[in-house]
Structure 1
Amino acid sequence: MLYGREAERAAVAAVLARAWEGRGGALLVRGVAGIGKSELLAEAARRARTAGSEVCVLRTTGTEAESVLPFSGLHLLLRPVLTGERLARLPGPQARALRGAFGLDEASPEDRFRIGLAVLTLLSDLAAEQPVLCLADDFQWLDPSSAEALLFTARRLGDERVALLLAARDGLPGDGGPSPAPGVPELRLDALGPAAAAELLADRAPDLADGVLATVVERTAGHPLSLVETVRSLTPGQRAGNVPVPAELPVPARLVEAYRARIEGLGPAARTALLVAAAESGGELRTVLPAAGALGAGPDGLRAAERVGLVTLTDAVVAFRHPLVRAAAYQGADPAERMAAHRALAEAGAGRDPDRTAWHLASAASGPDEEVAARLSRAGESAWGRGAFAAAVAAHRRASELSPLPLDRARRLLSAAQISVVTGRIAQADGLAREAMELTEDRTLRAWLGMVRGAVEDANGNPRTAAYLLLDHAEPSAGGDSGPVVPMLVLAARSAWAAADGALITRVGEVAARVRPEQPATAALSAMAALVSGVARLATDPHRSSAAPVADLNGPVASLRSFVDEVRGRNPGSHLLRLLAVDCAALTGDDDAALGLATAEAARCLERGTLLSLADVLRVLGDVQLATGRPREAAATAAEAEDAAGSTAEAAGPLPARRLTAVADRIAARTAALAGDEEKCRAALERSGGEDSAAVLALLDLGLGRPERALRRFGDALRGGAPAAVALLPATGDLVEAAVRAGRPGLAAGQLAAFTAWAEAGGQPWATAVALRCAALTGPEETAEEGYAAALGRHRVAGRPFEEARTELLYGEWLRRARRRTEARPRLRNALEAFERLGAVPWAERARGELRAVGGTASPASVARPDPLAALTPQERQVVRLAAAGAGNRDIAARLFLSPRTVEYHLYKAYPKLGVGSRRELAALAAGFGGPLPDLR
């Protein structure tokens, strides 16, 4: 029973009331041990049961002993509702993921987010029948995989009849530390006031003298469990006030000792049975009773503990009255007794759960043991396969500690470090790799460890250091057994590009050329280096013979395109090779390939939790979406990046979240530059770290009529050398226009020569069109019209509407200057309509002014064309686009990490805004959605 706590009860009641109305949510209750968190959760359960309608109450409790067992807490929570019928109602991939998490089916690392989604769908399905209350006590000890799945769910309960209450223990009063559930609203429990404390004591100890009651309240500072345990410890004379109360009373840090004293009052068999139950968090009697029996403790021991109020027994489970009782039972035993309990549990559970057995054996080990280490290492591989990354790292780490040989210790530390780095736990990966380096001189193993160290340096913002470190490890292996040389070179190349260091890119290419046998990836890396050197030669010597420029770039571009085609056709298992293919597609200007590869890889990164790579892929995806006239899809990509950052920050730390939010800011900056919104553009660039700021700000300047400033930005950026020249190839049209409008076309000659050769070598229609436009803009007047017309011909199949509109605008301006006003009007009107569709405000104003100058007016469609999606929220836009493409609610939910009920709610809100009443009518609006609908195959 709760005493006082009116405000806290009201806060919990409000969460429940909103949830029962279909506005679900979560609440984290925090406070020191014994402050009343468990009792508040129990009060919530009582309130739910008396709310007037039947409520499904699900419970779990974290335990320190089993915090390394993946999904153990989640299984305890969902066990009452995990029926075959219920699982069968989940979408197939989600059902398989949840079964895999619980060891009931094959599992895959790609299931990581499907597990959270499966929990959300399962709870949503339950909530369609009755309200659901989920309670998770001692959340700070819940295994990380379960915690991540519950937090994923907590952020998506807004449209569900589900309430999630978490309780987490703080160390000391007032010392909460970082939240174990970031983003979940908190309710902090403090000490009881004097009146509530006195009421509690009056109920629990009616024989307590008034003076003694006041003394106990004062000395325990209103701590509820201290109050109860203090009174329990007093003698009858002390309670009556005839004997002085001791000066030293139990305080929160010593509450476990109070329970230990009660446990010590039991017989040896009961203490042993309690210890075994404490070491097995699931509390399943089918495991606890045989294990206790093997140690000489029968069922009577647990019944004795139940009689004194320490545990409760059902037909299948033993549950501790309070988490502190479990802690006292476990921590009060000596190490030898705990090891014996774990050994007995391993034997009792053998054959049912190999991973749990391995952890019990590890807890029972008194020193190095290769057999146990090997079993625990397999448990780590199993956890990785189920997407339980923190558990996988913990298993490999502990397996290393149990390994007798230094080489095996290093090998298992490497496994832990590799999982840490790909999931964004950078500091952890660095520590593990450094520790392993001290244990081995094995060249291949040290090379793999060097690869981890290089990835750590790159992630920490030191790409040049990373590239040097990776090359130092890769070079000795290039001529013989390749080992990890290819993935190391891929990482080195990406770091060298991030550092914009042409010499390092060249060195990567040289080392890649020595790898035997030659592989598609090494050929692509060599081609990258050749592309950089070729562009550098052309940019610094634009007057070479007409054949030489294309010859300089034909070979490298062909090799890069060949690698992209190979990856698209073969879909290799290597994550790094697929990332390299995304980079190569972007380097060759192949929009279709970049879009397809990046979209597919983003989905894989989300599923596997490879968050740093996700940021890289979404950056390319957003760039291509904006370039190809898909601003709303780019906005959805930005929303996806922000959502991934918020959903995973607590699991992987702040670095991946910062990278992901930088992607969203990069998209916002480019969108604002197009719209001519200088304030938003600069603010977003500052938040993003300023990557590619020269090209973005130059576009902004050009749109706002500041060509001289744009030209200076390009000049400053190109002083960065060959990598900068390559990076700025897609912005060459901006540079050329800025130079011409500033009256200094010669300043763009070198970059234009490189771009023209690159465009011809790649054969991409958009690039060829921009090259023709630039030639028309900078060439003789007598060839200009032919150039503009040829450019527009290529634009028709290019898929870059902004570039096409700019060519229409420049052509229309040229026609106006030639006094061919009638011919200029359709060109300028086309430009205006395209700019308005794309939200390119200053460009539309320029086109409108030019159109007026030739006596033209905007078409009615241009003036009053409604945007069918303008009234929708970003989430509603995503749902509507997928629904219009034919996806069902469950398919949409799986794609967007929502529950089907939330999808239904978004459609319910979107239909009136769009003026439709059905999916059929929604599909009819698809032509106005801006860009093609998603491919649902």
Structure 2
Amino acid sequence: MPTDFVDRVEYMDAFRDLLADLSDHRGRALVVEGSTGMGRTALLAELARRINEVPANAGAFRVVEARCHPGTGPGDPYAVVADLVAQLEGRAEQGRWRLLRTAGRAAARSAPEVLASFVPGLNALWAVGREIAEAALGSGSTPLDSVLPTQFGAVAQIADALQQNARSGKPVVLLVDDVQYIDPSSLMVLNRLVERRDEAPLALVVSYGPDADGDRKVGELLDRWAGMAWADRHVLGGLPPEAVEELVRIRKPAAPDGLAAQLVELTRGHSVFVSLCLDAWQAEQGTELVVPRSLDRLLEQRMARLSGADRQLLEIAAVQGPQFFSRVLAEAAGEPHENVLQRLVRIARDTRLIEERPLPPWARYEESDCYVFEHGALWQLIYHPQSTELKRSRHAAVARALSADPARDDQLEWRLEIARHLEHGGVRCLDDSARAHYELARGAALDGLSFLEAEQHCNVAIRATRMLPDTVPDRNRRLVAAIELQLSLTEVRWRGLHESGGGPAIDALAVEAEAAATACGDPVLIARTTLLRGKTLLVTQGLEPSLAKLEEAVRRAEQADEPVAVFVAKVEYGRQVSKRRLSEGLTQLAEAERMYAENPALGATDDPVLHHSRNLGEMQLAINLFDLGRLGEALTRLERCVHRLRADQFNSELPMALNYLAQVHSATGSWTEAEQVLREALRFQEIQSGESGWHAYNLALLAGLVARDRARRQEALDLMTAAWEETERTWLANLVPIVRNLYAGLLLELSDQDPLLRGFAAHKAEETYRETEHTGMVRSRIAALVLRSRAELADGHREAALALADEALTILDEVGAMPALRTEEVLFHAARAFAAAGRRERAAELSGRAADEVERKSASIEDPALRERFLTEVPLNQEIRAAAPGVGRG
């Protein structure tokens, strides 16, 4: 709806500040929030005008604009960012791009094509990620954690390219209208730009409508921007009286003086309401406004001028959306197209409720006129009051009309439009909706590596497939496929107990998939869903139930006589059982390694799924050897694994391998080498993937190394705090207690005589202890008990320290060596607690056991220099050997 912009002083001042900072090469972000009709779009248009037309700004900035709309949303990955990028490149090299922009979309090429030409190396990155994703989705056995770094890497590269563009030319202003409708992939790019706004002269201004039917996660992210002081947020209220007066002067210069005051009283400054009232005002009315006293009533009054047939036609048009096509409308209404064309022209001319617009680029071959409703409030007024079943039947009719031309099946936007109507078409559309959304989910994951969009489509596919009758022949197999895809897409966000990032109960989904696979009677499918259930049980019910199910998955795979399924199941079971029984984990992983070497179907393939499992198995076997005290063999294996991964295109597991290698280096006193590999891992992750549980873990290990220098204590504490905050945000279940215990350990090391710091350390350890009651993570339980014992002893609570140490010893003696836990450290601190309590004989025994453990491990190191460093350069080993003759004497 065309409106005249009237000054919004507060917002103009904020924008001038933004431009001033941009002139000094400082990036900024600004959020303009307001409900429908409050003038968000008009404000952004005025901002663009002032950049381009105000003499003081002439030529100083580059401004590019994109408008999101309901069709942008979940299915069109990177659409908004591609639009912005294409405009930037078009400004830089005139004639390079042919831009056909309607409804916020650059059309000459697909979004990935536009972005790939703008970002060097992006095509290659996507090609690798697509190959991994395709194999992962095809197998159902391996999650997409190995390809997510590719998605995050793409986001990082796109954002970095935008910033580099801004640094290499005039400062850039990105204006994004109606951001509530943005696609998730573009939102990830904008988020990275905002997080790194200080790195380039690039400003972002977005408008947000909280009352629109957009993605609520957008609002949550904007809240975070404001909370972190990353963006200034301004809420648009009604137009102030002086702005209404200005609008009256512009639109109705002959109006009497009191009209503006009457408008303010009636409309409370609502921008669209003010404008519509001015349209309805006649000079003979004076200051009297003969209009309904609400926007809805005013719109209803205008609608009343329509005939019943024309109103029904607009109702069907509203079902298609704020934008609609005449041919689709005619077919959905069951009327001749020629007749509908003429009626739409008349309605637009006589009522101005609708207006003709150019066809959007994705529909440029459509033989239709394209119309939009005058504004969003009008569209909502026509669409929402329709009954539920009436809307369903009309959505189904629109879907049929859109599906009439199979030649357009390869057009993503067209498929998205059809799928949207199928979703709302009721029972009659369930089968088609399930198929359409499942294919869109796979396409989003494979073609754009856009897993958030894929997840949203997958949710719809699962709901629709679940509602299909059991008599539909492939219903169960399709349900398994959709659930496998959904759980693969969300696995990296599984937070524990029940929920997956706010989505459905992950274990209930896995149970449903198991039942559907059993109904199919396919042994391979049964093995796959059993493995999937084992993974969800680990997060929702803890280690022991998970191990039982994972062991069953190995048996099921062996019964199916499928080598790939057996290999993947053995690796997963071996990795998890190592958390409880190291020797059993070692056996399973060694068997998987033998299978990979001997079976041509495994070792000779380039299947990224097998590659991923092989990498995980190889490094887990090596770290198991380390945890069992075979340090020399572990070091050799990990160095070999890291060397191979560095040269491998499928190397998303490299940060994990570097983490394990850093642990071995630290344990042998190779401090410089440990810090080097950790910093390598962090650099890799920050380029490729951003935040993750493993990035947090590597940061925590680095904090421990930095803390060795007493002059860098604050730096170490800052690193560890950042690591824990990232752990809380990413929440990888098996790493949470490890990082929390590392946090507590560092606090203890830094506490000296500070009881508050020790108290906080004990509190974090207590959190881990309580958590392990339901997770079954015994290793973390023992470590937490030792930390609490140390804190109690430092505070002079000898009996409490003794009780905690004794509990840790009881568990350790029962389970034996544990991963991520040094047996000698448990024994040493227990010995100190017993000595402090006067139990010197028991303390001496424990001290001797700790010294024996150190000697046993040193014997596994063949390199004499490394063995000597292990014995003399590691503080814990020095203390253990010094205390062995008699802990606590004197």
TM range (shorter): 0.5 to 0.7
| Counterpart selection for 1:39 from 39, 42, 46 | 42
* Amino acid corresponding to residue 73 of structure 1 in structure 2: V
User: For 2:34, what is the secondary structure of its paired residue?
Assistant: strand
- Compared CA separation, residues 487 and 53, structure 1 to 2 (3 A): same
SS in 2 for 1:167: strand
Matched, 1:444 2:514: no
CA contact (8 A) 1:66 1:280 kept: no
Q: Give the TM-score taking structure 2 as reference length.
A: 0.64
**Of 479, 491, 498, the match for 1:422:** 491
Superposed CA deviations along residues 568-607 of structure 1, whole A, max 9, x for unmatched, are: 9979626677667665554442665679556158899999
Pick one of 426, 430, 443 that aligns with 1:382. 443
Shift of 1:316: 7.5
User: Structure 2 CA distance, aligned partners of 1:208 and 1:573?
Assistant: 73
Secondary structure, counterpart of 1:181 in structure 2: helix
Inter-partner Cα distance in structure 2 for 1:423 and 1:528:
17
Residue 154 (1) aligns with residue 216 (2): no
Shift of 1:716: 2.8
Alignment of 1:320-335 (within 5 A): 324=376, 327=379, 331=383, 335=391
Q: Any gaps of 5 or more consecutive residues in structure 2?
A: 91-95, 98-113, 136-146, 226-230, 362-369, 494-498, 628-633, 643-652, 658-680, 770-779
Q: Deviations over 1:896-928 (max 9, x none)?
A: xxxxxxxxxxxxxxxxxxxxxxxxxxxxxxxxx
Relative distance call for 1:192 and 1:433 in structure 2 (3 A) is: same
Specify the alignment match of 2:866 in structure 1.
796
Aligned to 1:142: 182
Other-structure match for 2:660: none
Does the Cα contact within 8 Å between 1:270 and 1:300 map onto a contact in 2?
no
Counterpart position of 1:768: 856
- CA deviation after TM superposition for structure 1 residue 17, in Å: 2.2
User: In structure 2, what is the Cα distance between the partners aligned to 1:230 and 1:722?
Assistant: 82
After superposition, the Cα gap between the structure-2 partners of 1:422 and 1:2, relative to the gap in structure 1 and judged at 3 Å, is: same
Query: Residue type of the partner of 2:153?
Result: R
One of 40, 53, 63 as aligned partner of 2:59: 53
Q: Does 1:68 align with 2:68?
A: no
2:448 is equivalent to residue 392 of structure 1: no
The amino acid across from 1:45 in the alignment is A
Task: Tell me which residue corresponds to 1:80.
Answer: 87
Q: Secondary structure at the match of 2:626?
A: coil
1:35 touches 1:223 (CA, 8 Å); kept in 2?
A: yes
Q: Which amino acid aligns with 2:415?
A: A
Match for residue 187 of structure 1 among 208, 229, 234 = 234
> For 1:206, what is the secondary structure of its paired residue?
coil
Alpha-carbon distance, 1:124 to partner: 1.6
8 Å CA contact 2:704–2:746 kept in 1: the answer is: no
Match of 1:599 among 655, 667, 686: 655
CA contact (8 A) 1:73 1:146 kept: yes
Is the 2:441–2:454 Cα contact (8 Å) retained in structure 1?
Answer: yes
The alignment partner of 1:384 has SS state of helix
In structure 1, the gaps of 5 or more residues are: 449-476, 536-552, 650-654, 760-765, 773-789, 818-845, 847-852, 854-937
**1:715 matched residue in structure 2:** 806
What's the counterpart of residue 589 of structure 1? 626
Larger CA deviation: 343-352 vs 187-196: 343-352
- Equivalent residues of 1:312, 1:320 under 8 A apart: yes
Q: Match of 1:113? A: 152
Query: Could you tell me whether the CA contact under 8 Å between 1:31 and 1:37 is conserved in 2?
Result: yes
Distance apart, 1:139 and its partner CA: 1.3
Matching residue within 190, 212, 221 for 2:268:
221
Task: Return 359-368 or 635-644, whichever deviates more.
Answer: 635-644
Aligned residue pairs, count:
724
* 2:530 aligned partner: 485
2:207 aligned partner:
167
In 2, distance between residues paired with 1:745 and 1:560? 42
What is the CA–CA distance in structure 1 between the aligned matches of 2:60 and 2:188, rounded to whole Å? Answer: 28
- Aligned-pair CA distance for 1:313: 5.7
Question: Which whole-Å CA distance do the structure 2 matches of 1:641 and 1:302 have between them?
Answer: 62
Match of 2:414 in 1: 357
User: How many Å separate the matches in 1 of 2:265 and 2:419?
Assistant: 45
For residue 57 of structure 1, what is the amino acid of its counterpart? V
Cα displacement string for residues 804-836 of structure 1 (whole angstroms, at most 9, x for unaligned residues)? 234445667899x9xxxxxxxxxxxxxxxxxxx
Deviation of 1:419 (Å): 4.5
Aligned AA (2:76): P
Say if 1:28 and 1:674 are closer, same or farther in 2 by CA, change over 3 A: same
AA aligned opposite 1:430? P
Residue type at the aligned position of 1:46: R
Letter in 2 for 1:379: L
**Partner of 1:690 in structure 2?**
768
302 and 430 in structure 1: CA distance in 2 versus 1, 3 angstrom threshold:
same
Distance in 1, matches of 2:348 and 2:700, equals: 65
User: Take 2:863 and 2:810, find their aligned partners in 1: how far apart are those partners?
Assistant: 34
Distance (Å, rounded) in 2 between the aligned partners of 1:380 and 1:205 = 52
Offset, 1:64: 2.3
Query: Which residue in the other structure is 1:573 paired with?
Result: 609
Paired letter, 1:122: A
Report if the CA contact (8 A) 1:192-1:222 is conserved: yes
Counterpart contact for 1:61–1:136, Cα < 8 Å: yes
Write out aligned runs for 1:454-473 (5 A).
Answer: none
Deviation at 1:218, TM superposition (A): 0.7
Letter in 1 for 2:61: V
Q: Does the 8 Å contact 1:270/1:305 carry over to 2? A: no
Q: Deviations over 1:371-408 (max 9, x none)?
A: 56434321110112223233223323334555554425
Identity across matched positions, percent = 16
Distance 1:809 1:160 in 2: 50
Q: For residue 13 of structure 1, what is the amino acid of its counterpart?
A: R
Given the superposition, is the C-alpha separation of residues 18 and 492 from structure 1 closer, same or farther in structure 2, using an over 3 Å criterion? same
Residue equivalent to 2:6: 3
State the Cα distance separating 1:23 from its structure 2 match: 1.3
Partner of 1:245: 290
* Separation in structure 2 between the aligned mates of residue 508 and residue 814 of structure 1, nearest angstrom: 42
Equivalent residue letter for 1:133: V
CA distance in 1, matches of 2:342, 2:306: 16
* Aligned pairs for 1:479-628 within 5 A: 482-489=527-534, 516=558, 519=566, 557=586, 560=589, 573=609, 585-589=622-626, 592=635, 596=642, 599-600=655-656, 614-615=692-693, 617-618=694-695, 621=698
The aligned amino acid for 1:250 is S
Instruction: Give, in whole Å, the separation in 1 of the partners of 2:381 and 2:115.
Output: 36
SS of equivalent residue, structure 1 residue 33: coil
Give the 3-state SS of the residue equivalent to 1:730 in structure 2. Answer: coil
Q: Is the 8 A contact 1:38 1:322 kept in 2?
A: no
TM-score, structure 1 as length reference: 0.61
CA contact (8 A) 1:24 1:162 kept: yes
C-alpha displacement at 1:430, in angstroms? 2.7
Closer, same or farther in 2 for the Cα pair 1:153/1:69, shift >3 Å?
Answer: same
Aligned equivalents of 2:308 and 2:25: distance in 1? 49
Residue 731 of structure 1 deviates from its aligned partner by: 3.4
* Cα distance in 2 for residues equivalent to 1:606 and 1:93: 17
For 1:94, the equivalent position in structure 2 comes to 122
Cα deviation for residue 657 of structure 1 reads 9.1
Cα 1:748–1:726, aligned 2, differ >3 Å: closer, same or farther?
A: farther
**Counterpart amino acid of residue 74 in structure 1:** V
1:630-641 map, 5 Å: none
Q: Tell me, what secondary structure is at the counterpart of 1:69?
A: coil
Q: Hey, what does 2:366 align to over in structure 1?
A: none
CA contact (8 A) 1:668 1:681 kept: no
Aligned equivalent of 1:837: none
Identify which range, 730-739 or 176-185, moves more after superposition.
176-185
In structure 1, distance between residues paired with 2:134 and 2:609 = 18
Give me the CA root mean square deviation: 6.0
